[in-house]
Chain A
């Protein structure tokens, strides 16, 4: 099969290193969030019924 020929803006190539950089940055942010106790606070909130979510206020 012929190699796909990307055409138009919808198929513009992106620098191949960009996703890897985002991946590394994302992992670093996740670790930072855990270190700052964010996941524990998420757990605190998510284990109680969120009154705003269900429309009570």
Chain B
């Protein structure tokens, strides 16, 4: 089995290891939920052990701070405290640490929703590469649905809601929205138009995953949008020796993000899966970081740069482009 697939599977299971929740329909309420994962994993999934950074950030923003006003008009000190305590510093810091270490590598290696997209995209159907401009949509999702609406879109009672979770997030629908009502008759009774909308969004994304490489990551994930700039400013770095490239196209065929690695490696849309490095017959794509040992830096399957494969096998030749678990575009 491909090492990355194994890591993705293990990460998905560990993130959702509250197995008894899948039978009882109750979500985990232990101390681990104080922390979050660097991936999209709904904390209302019966199996989820940790919080979702997107949900947690919105909840902090909607809370508007923790100061209890002493009088009818909040004092300056109270207002200042509310701004301070109503900003998701912990989540921002956590995601910044993740970005500084590895950029979007968590998308390529750890995210359960990324795994789902990779698996569905393996189905043998014609593939489509949508216009690149659509990738900008994820930044709009981050700014409007995750930040601005929870902050400013308040109802007549002065309350706001986590708009991204409510109107868009298909991971919430898949992990919590389907399972919890299935396991709890009380919840089934109150499903309405909003649920129908969220199911439609989920089904549209699931269908798109078959034909388009990682559509959700490219167009709609706020985590991907937040981590994207860190691909240019993280300790982990990917490099391609473009001047030695023979344009065999092997890397483009397997790129899980639908990119051309020769020109777009480590761009904001690269999820650093290293599938391109795995299949490059000349081993021209490398990963480097201070925390990676030099001899195994460059190949996810453990082969050495430009040299022998594990077990002493010779590297693939230029014409050998069939090895990968490729999906064709």
Contacts and interface: CB of A to CB of B under 8 A. Distances in A.
A39 B232 contact: no
A34 B94 CA distance: 11
Given A4-B241, A30-B89, A47 B165 contact: no
Given A19-B233, A33-B88, A55 B172 contact: yes
Interface residues of B, number: 79
A34 to B, nearest CB: 6
Contact of B165 (A1, A36, A38, A53): A53
B152 interface: no
B66 interface: yes
Contacts of A50: 42-44, 55, 162, 165, 172, 176
Per DSSP, are chain B's interface residues mostly helix, strand or loop, or mixed?
A: helix
A56 B243 CA distance: 54
B321 interface: no
Contacts of B266: 10-11
B88 A54 contact: no
A23 B241 CA distance: 28
A33 B265 contact: no
B27 interface: yes
Interface stretch (B69-77, B116-124, B187-195): B187-195
Contacts of A40: 34
Given A11-B266, A50-B55, A53-B55, A27 B93 contact: yes
A36 B233 CA distance: 28
Contact of B55 (A26, A29, A46): A46
